[in-house]
Amino acid sequence: MRQLILMRHAEAQPSSEAGDIGRGLTPRGQADAEAMGRALADRGGRPDHALVSSARRAQETWDAVRGAFGDVVTEIERGLYEADSAALRHRIEDAEDDCGSLILVAHNPAIHRLAVDLLIEQAASPSTLERLSGGFPPGSAVVFTADSSGRLAYDGFLRPSDLT
């Protein structure tokens, strides 16, 4: 794998008759997700594989983002809905040999914790850690690139508020 994008679903409705898993995006969330897809593509983000939580808000986020990338193998997975950061990491490790660039669309707090853990492991700068420790707002994405030995290196953190 040469690139990993960790993305939190975009802003969701506060409630749904279908329960938490059925919450869809707000109009702002939809617009933020579309803008994030364009921003990631402009930065060279071109996933060929996507792992997406089965929650409606994650699927709607991915549907809005994927238009910027073209054809992407997509796996919708129930196990990503309530996964902790260790489970997300395990799923990424399972998929990394099957793709060149992977995007994972999931939920807080797990997606944020995983991003911070990866930054700590690579001894990221204090300013980078501080920026990410300030939160992982809905619709945000952190990008890592892999070197020839497969070690991930921080390549950027984008929040919807950065795009306006």
Sort strands 152-158 and 141-146 into parallel, antiparallel or unpaired. antiparallel
Does residue 143 register a pLDDT over 80? yes
Residue-level length of the chain: 164
pLDDT at 122: 85
Domains of the chain, residue spans: 3-163
> In this predicted model, what pLDDT tens digit does every residue of 27-83 receive, in sequence order?
999 999 999 999 999 998 889 999 999 999 999 999 999 999 989 999 999 999 999
SS3 143: strand
Which residues lie below 8 Å from residue 124, measured CB to CB, with a gap of 6+?
A: 154
pLDDT at 37: 96
Within 10 A of 63 (CB to CB), how many other CB atoms are there?
16
**CATH number for the domain running over 3-163:** 3.40.50.1240
Query: pLDDT-derived band of residue 147, with 50, 70 and 90 as boundaries?
Result: confident
**Which whole number is the average pLDDT over 132-143?**
92
Of the ranges 13-22, 57-66, 143-152, the best mean pLDDT one:
57-66
Return the closest-CA partner of residue 64 out of 110, 5, 108, 105: 105
CA distances from 57 to 43, 73, 159 (A): 24, 19, 17
